[in-house]
Amino acid sequence: MGEPETQGIDGTPADAPEHGIYGEDGVIAAPFLAHIGAAIADRDTLALKEDVGSLHTSEVGDLLEALIPEQRRALVQLMGEEFDFTALTEVDEAIRLDIVGSLPNAQIAKALQHLESDDAVYILEDLEQADQDEILSRLPFTERVRLRRSLGYPEETAGRRMQTEFVAVPPFWTVGQTIDYMRDEQNLPESFSQIFVIDPTFRLVGAVDLDRILRTKRAVKIEDVMRETRHAIPATMDQEEAAKIFEQYDLLSAAVVDENERLVGVLTIDDVVDVITQEAEEDLMRMGGVGDEELSDSVLAAGRSRVPWLMVNLVTAFLAASVISLFDGTIEQIVALAILMPIVAGMGGNAGSQTMTVTVRALATRDLDIYNAGRIIRREMAVGILNGVIFATLIGLVAGIWFQDVNIGGIIAAAMIINMFVAALAGILIPLLLDRLGADPAVASAVFLTTVTDVVGFFAFLGLATWWFGLL
Amino acid sequence: MGEPETQGIDGTPADAPEHGIYGEDGVIAAPFLAHIGAAIADRDTLALKEDVGSLHTSEVGDLLEALIPEQRRALVQLMGEEFDFTALTEVDEAIRLDIVGSLPNAQIAKALQHLESDDAVYILEDLEQADQDEILSRLPFTERVRLRRSLGYPEETAGRRMQTEFVAVPPFWTVGQTIDYMRDEQNLPESFSQIFVIDPTFRLVGAVDLDRILRTKRAVKIEDVMRETRHAIPATMDQEEAAKIFEQYDLLSAAVVDENERLVGVLTIDDVVDVITQEAEEDLMRMGGVGDEELSDSVLAAGRSRVPWLMVNLVTAFLAASVISLFDGTIEQIVALAILMPIVAGMGGNAGSQTMTVTVRALATRDLDIYNAGRIIRREMAVGILNGVIFATLIGLVAGIWFQDVNIGGIIAAAMIINMFVAALAGILIPLLLDRLGADPAVASAVFLTTVTDVVGFFAFLGLATWWFGLL
């Protein structure tokens, strides 16, 4: 969020002696925090405006997150007009809502007018419909229209993330005219790296990078230096999809167009970077069996977000237990089996989740497709057998020596090879299948996998034992 | 990799009828692949130069990955001079090495001269020292010096990733002079979004965004419009560290300076995006217990990368088994315990890994720090108890009914509460501790966690039972 800056950094986490707001570890330094806390307690508006006003909005965001709720609200109120709401796009949703909720809609509306449209939308979209409408109604007509248009697009689409401020010129202008226009025009976007070329009906015809303009003689026509933008990003495109395009074509910014190919905004790389990190985070959380949970969530919220996953795992667990119960007779006679069986299931589960991790990630990055799927499946099976044999030998030896029984050693070794092989197969086939069925492999794979490795692990080990010792 | 383009997209995965190289699913379309395959078989150089030459380098990269090794090498050889080596920065390391290895060093040296320095370095860094030296020796002096300088910096540092082509002017120049210089100068970088300001000794004094220059009258001096870049990125800074700075300050590009504050290159957001996705991937892989493994790795390479993790889990498994063995007498008399014990351990493991996932991610994004650690720990403990009680009740009921024994139900319920609480505690304390000790929480946390949840789970359940049924 915030406008992209092409510049060296004013105060980096690493070393910012000027205003040493960060400690060595990259978190807000205690002295600075104490200083701000004191200023808030003293309601020392001047000091706050000076010390906080000079920070980058992302630094203000970190500061807000380090403060306690009361201090946060107080800080924003004390700074009044001087507080840049862009900082609110840098904090947890819960914190943002808490702060915004503590302010009168009139003040919010006033503040939003100074923001770039994408940041304003980012703050507005989480508010109650009623507050949203009231705030919008207090905005000047053009801004209201722009924001309403963005908010009109579904969440997590390019239209929601786009910035509606941009520079657009007609194709017949010369480079000279364009430069003069930019020199005179007062309300240009805070920063931009390309200008768009549009026809009288606002339909997008092309784009020109600023460096291109600077290299070109004044007399040259824009249409002669512009690049055709045949495939601008549709406003309704999913943000993750848009991010993939940015990644693939190394874009800094891209035109966003409505269903009539009309230019409605521009998507910039800094917002895309946020999307990329956010999506990566979601992948990781899903694989860990956690919902879209935030650090600032309450106990109940966090608890609730984790129950579903535990619930499915519960079913799996009982399924595995019922497999064991098939062999209670055997266990009664050879307790060693009860002692060793978790090893077979557990190792299978770990080996399988390794394969699964590789597969899920490869699917997410589109590195795994019909062209190499066959090869990868064969590879994983080979790896499964290879590691299966290695660990079967190891475990077989240890178990055999432990219980002074070569049969036990042989049985667990055989069971290990079977389970490691099945685990590898399940580890790649389950995500592939889920992906084909349109389900998110990151979410569901782990459950099915553990089910397979537990069931197969217990069944193979206890089954082999029952048969071998003739206890059928 | 590749130069950043500020433009609409020429052919997006979504819809690129012009040259429909991608199918609906975003992977290379079969017809196109067949067409290229045929052209390669016929050694139809013309067709290849036309169809492949017109693609974006990242599209060529996808194409190379879809082809089989023989075709890849043939394609590159057939296209000769027309093949843009930038495409090699878009493919798996193994594939890149295979292709480059099939070419004479002379040809590689020739091709590298057309690349931007960062892409050339990206290709060179993986080669054998001998080949690297020979290729470098065949390059023109200035380029050789530039590349050697980049290669001189450690892997994964800003110096390695930086581009050594940039525009730099003295502070006393006027905007007009600067524009005229850019209009006349022939060898400017392929694209750039800011120009740097340096003193006669090449020391960095500032930077100006291109849009700033375009808004300013010709007579104005550069020093009057430039932004001071007090904190340029040191060439030796870790790339992940640099990426964090880009993210925090929404940079498009940043000056890279040597130990004497001299400007040596520029780091651009498109390379940083690659770093971000790469680091996110590494986090995920580490948590899944897989090393920095690539999809193109061989069976042996993949197998080897997974053995260490399985090995440590093996130790854990035997530790858990030995805990069970303490209670073999109890199990012998009440087999139900053997049937139910994996449920206690398993559920604890899952609950713990949920907490661990949240913690590891929060540590990686620096969202979790000394200021909220206390609150988060208390929250996780509360969540642990909450979910512990919920699932203890559920499991207790089911188990009690299953074995028609209220004691069994009560014992497993009690064990569940204990293990879920311990799991939550371990899930957050273990990563925090590892982080404090400077170890990577993503790698080691899971092992310690499962050790704890297994040991505690089995011990609590079997221990309680032994005591309750008076089998001590």
Higher pLDDT, A242 or B14: A242
Minimal CA–CA distance to B467: which of B415, B418, B419? B415
Cα angle B415, B421, B425; round to 5:
140
Q: What is the mean pLDDT of chain A?
A: 88
The band of A472, judged by pLDDT with boundaries at 50, 70 and 90, is: low
Would you state the pLDDT for residue B395?
Answer: 94
Is the per-residue pLDDT at B171 higher than 60?
Answer: yes
The Cα B462–Cα B345 span in angstroms is: 11
Are the Cβ atoms of A56 and B13 closer than 8 angstroms? no
From chain B residues 146-165, the ones with a CB under 8 A of any chain A CB are: none
Mean predicted confidence (pLDDT) in A221-226: 94
The Cα B65–Cα B75 span in angstroms is: 12
The Cα A242–Cα A28 span in angstroms is: 33
Higher pLDDT, A266 or B13: A266
Percent composition of chain A: helix, strand, coil (DSSP 3-state, to 5): 65, 10, 25
pLDDT in tens, A412-425: 999 999 999 999 99
The band of B234, judged by pLDDT with boundaries at 50, 70 and 90, is: very high
The Cα B165–Cα B149 span in angstroms is: 13
Mean predicted confidence (pLDDT) in B40-67: 91
Record the tokens describing residue A34, joined without a space: 């104490």
Distance from CA of B396 to the nearest CA of A (A): 12
> Between A27, A209, A313, which is nearest B346 by CB?
A313
Is the per-residue pLDDT at B225 higher than 90?
Answer: yes
Minimal CA–CA distance to B434: which of B445, B424, B423, B426? B445
The Cα B306–Cα A355 span in angstroms is: 9
Residue numbers in B near A365 (CB within 8 A): 277, 281
The Cα B381–Cα B390 span in angstroms is: 14
**Residue pair A295/B367 in contact by the 8 Å Cβ criterion:** yes
Residue numbers in A near B370 (CB within 8 A): 27
Are the Cβ atoms of B314 and A246 closer than 8 angstroms? no
Listed in order, the ranges of chain B carrying CATH 1.10.357.20 are 299-471
Cα angle B358, B362, B363; round to 5:
120
pTM of the model: 0.80
The band of B424, judged by pLDDT with boundaries at 50, 70 and 90, is: very high
Is the per-residue pLDDT at A2 higher than 50?
Answer: no
Is the per-residue pLDDT at A452 higher than 50?
Answer: yes
Minimal CA–CA distance to B342: which of B326, B313, B328, B321? B321
Q: Which of A36-50, A190-204, B136-150, B357-371 has the lowest mean pLDDT?
A: B357-371
Is the per-residue pLDDT at B230 higher than 80?
Answer: no
Is B321 within 8 Å of chain A by CB? yes
Cβ neighbours, 10 Å, residue B390: 17
Residue numbers in B near A3 (CB within 8 A): 250
Are the Cβ atoms of A379 and B299 closer than 8 angstroms? yes
Is the per-residue pLDDT at B116 higher than 60?
Answer: yes
Is the per-residue pLDDT at B249 higher than 90?
Answer: no
Minimal CA–CA distance to B78: which of B97, B103, B54? B103
Mean predicted confidence (pLDDT) in B394-423: 95
Q: If you search the block for the tokens 């996932």, which residue do you land on?
A: B357
Minimal CA–CA distance to A18: which of A63, A61, A62, A55? A55
Stated as kind and residue range, the H or E segment containing A277 is helix A269-287
The backbone torsions φ and ψ at residue A455, rounded to the nearest 5 degrees and listed phi first, read -55, -55
pLDDT in tens, A66-105: 898 999 999 999 998 899 999 999 998 888 999 999 999 9
**Residue pair A272/A156 in contact by the 8 Å Cβ criterion:** no
Q: What is the mean pLDDT of chain B?
A: 88
Listed in order, the ranges of chain B carrying CATH 3.10.580.10 are 168-287
Mean predicted confidence (pLDDT) in B300-310: 86
Cα angle B248, B254, B256; round to 5:
120
Listed in order, the ranges of chain B carrying CATH 1.25.60.10 are 30-161
The Cα B352–Cα B440 span in angstroms is: 18
Is the per-residue pLDDT at B17 higher than 60?
Answer: no
Is the per-residue pLDDT at B315 higher than 70?
Answer: yes
Is the per-residue pLDDT at A9 higher than 50?
Answer: no
Is B426 within 8 Å of chain A by CB? no
From chain B residues 256-295, the ones with a CB under 8 A of any chain A CB are: 269-270, 272-274, 276-277, 280-281, 283-285, 287-290, 293, 295
> Between B290, B317, B372, which is nearest A295 by CB?
B372
Are the Cβ atoms of B387 and A211 closer than 8 angstroms? no
pLDDT in tens, A92-102: 888 899 999 99
The band of B221, judged by pLDDT with boundaries at 50, 70 and 90, is: very high
Residue numbers in B near A6 (CB within 8 A): 193-194, 207, 209-210, 251-253
Q: Which residue in chain B is spatially nearest to A207 when comparing CA positions?
A: B7
Would you state the pLDDT for residue B2?
Answer: 44
Residue numbers in A near B325 (CB within 8 A): 339
Are the Cβ atoms of B183 and A214 closer than 8 angstroms? yes
Higher pLDDT, B194 or B292: B194
pLDDT in tens, B342-378: 999 999 999 998 999 889 888 877 778 777 888 889 9
Please, which residues have CB within 8 angstroms of residue A22's CB and are 6 or more apart in sequence? A11, A13, A16, A28, A29, A62
Q: What is the DSSP letter of B221?
A: B
Please, which residues have CB within 8 angstroms of residue B433's CB and are 6 or more apart in sequence? none
The fraction of chain A above a pLDDT of 70, given in percent, is 95
Cα angle B141, B143, B145; round to 5:
70
CATH homologous superfamily of A30-161 equals: MgtE N-terminal domain-like (1.25.60.10)
Are the Cβ atoms of A299 and B273 closer than 8 angstroms? no
Is the per-residue pLDDT at A378 higher than 80?
Answer: yes
From chain A residues 56-115, the ones with a CB under 8 A of any chain B CB are: 56, 58-59, 65-66, 92
Would you state the pLDDT for residue A129?
Answer: 92
Minimal CA–CA distance to A462: which of A293, A265, A323? A323
Residue count of chain B = 472
**DSSP line for B100-160:** HHTS-HHHHHHHHTTS-HHHHHHHHTTS-HHHHHHHHHTS-HHHHHHHHHHHHSPTTBHHH
Distance from CA of A108 to the nearest CA of B (A): 24
Would you state the pLDDT for residue B472?
Answer: 64
Would you state the pLDDT for residue B367?
Answer: 78
List Cα–Cα distances, A80 to A49, A76, B430, in angstroms: 9, 6, 42
Would you state the pLDDT for residue A441?
Answer: 84
The Cα A162–Cα A272 span in angstroms is: 10
Is B325 within 8 Å of chain A by CB? yes
Stated as kind and residue range, the H or E segment containing A265 is strand A263-268
In CATH terms, the fold of domain A168-287 is CBS-domain (3.10.580)
Strand segments, DSSP code E, in B142-225 are 168-169, 194-198, 204-209
The fraction of chain B above a pLDDT of 70, given in percent, is 95
Minimal CA–CA distance to B74: which of B113, B102, B52? B102
Q: Which residue in chain B is spatially nearest to A245 when comparing CA positions?
A: B12
Is A210 within 8 Å of chain B by CB? yes
Distance from CA of B399 to the nearest CA of A (A): 9
Strands A263-268 and B253-257: what pairing? unpaired
Higher pLDDT, A11 or A2: A2
Minimal CA–CA distance to A203: which of A228, A179, A225, A184? A228
User: Residue A400 is which amino acid?
Assistant: G
Residue count of chain A = 472
Minimal CA–CA distance to A376: which of B294, B289, B70? B294
In CATH terms, the fold of domain A299-471 is Tetracycline Repressor; domain 2 (1.10.357)
The fraction of chain A above a pLDDT of 90, given in percent, is 60
Q: Which of A15-24, B158-167, B323-332 has the lowest mean pLDDT?
A: A15-24
